[in-house]
Chain A
Amino acid sequence: DTEVTQTPKHLVMGMTNKKSLKCEQHMGHRAMYWYKQKAKKPPELMFVYSYEKLSINESVPSRFSPECPNSSLLNLHLHALQPEDSALYLCASSQVGLAGLVEQYFGPGTRLTVT
């Protein structure tokens, strides 16, 4: 199984809502990633988890809170978001290793709209 799944596919939330994005993989990968992608832009790294521990936080605002409850699951908790946070949120996984040497497997993304 080489699939990364993400739920939900689409999410519309108000600025006072709390919601969560979910990501799951069963490839035995111990590195998992959250990316944010605006239209016609490249993905921008937000967080990296390695062996279920947060290893990289790219100065992401605290209204985004990641969680890795086990080696297969990755969540992104959202609270008090701004309209500019509307984007495609991509989850990826890979084997642990030097970033340039490992292939990342991406999920289909969650299209988030903040109203």
Chain B
Amino acid sequence: SQQGEEDPQALSIQEGENATMNCSYKTSINNLQWYRQNSGRGLVHLILIRSNEREKHSGRLRVTLDTSKKSSSLLITASRAADTASYFCATALSGNTPLVFGKGTRLSVIA
């Protein structure tokens, strides 16, 4: 299956700590995206990392991609209670195949 598998499934941390979520996938991909979803709401795009990139930053977010290990990680630094959400990685095979979302990590940041 192309679908990514996030790890851990759930993560609970204190405000101010860093949160790391991992995504592993099974097939070769061109690019990988990360999305955030607050409870019962729509998804919000966070970052896209291309297959020829190894690391990308956006504010407090740092994403890495290791195509040899078929894995990506999302690091949120100095977490805030507002970061509490589910985080999904999403991948698409080459060509015009649709985006497929991983199973997600539920992050709880406790104030």
Residues on A close to B: CB < 8 A?
4, 40-45, 48, 56, 58, 88, 90, 92, 98-101, 103-109, 111
Interface residues of B toward A: which range? Answer: 20 to 34
Total A-B residue pairs with C-beta atoms closer than 8 Å? 67
Chain B neighbourhood of A90, CB < 8 A: 42-43
- Are B99 and A99 in touch, CB under 8 angstroms? yes
CA A27 to CA B20, docked complex, whole Å: 33
- Quick one: given A100-B31, A100-B91, are A88 and B48 in contact (CB under 8 Å)? no
Select from chain A the residue with minimum beta-carbon distance to B95.
A98
Residues on B close to A: CB < 8 A?
3, 29-33, 40-45, 48, 50, 88, 91-104, 106
- Are B96 and A98 in touch, CB under 8 angstroms? yes
CA A100 to CA B32, docked complex, whole Å: 7
Select from chain A the residue with minimum beta-carbon distance to B102.
A42
Choose among B29, B33, B50 the residue that contacts A103 (Cβ–Cβ < 8 A): B33
Chain A neighbourhood of B97, CB < 8 A: 99
Chain B neighbourhood of A41, CB < 8 A: 103-104
Minimum-distance CB pairs A-B, first 8 = A106-B42, A100-B92, A42-B101, A100-B31, A99-B92, A103-B45, A99-B99, A106-B43
Give A25 Cβ to nearest chain B Cβ, in Å: 12
List 14 additional A-B contacts (Cβ < 8 Å) besides A42-B102, A58-B98, A98-B95: A42-B3, A88-B40, A90-B43, A98-B30, A100-B29, A100-B31, A100-B32, A100-B48, A100-B93, A103-B33, A104-B99, A106-B44, A107-B42, A109-B40
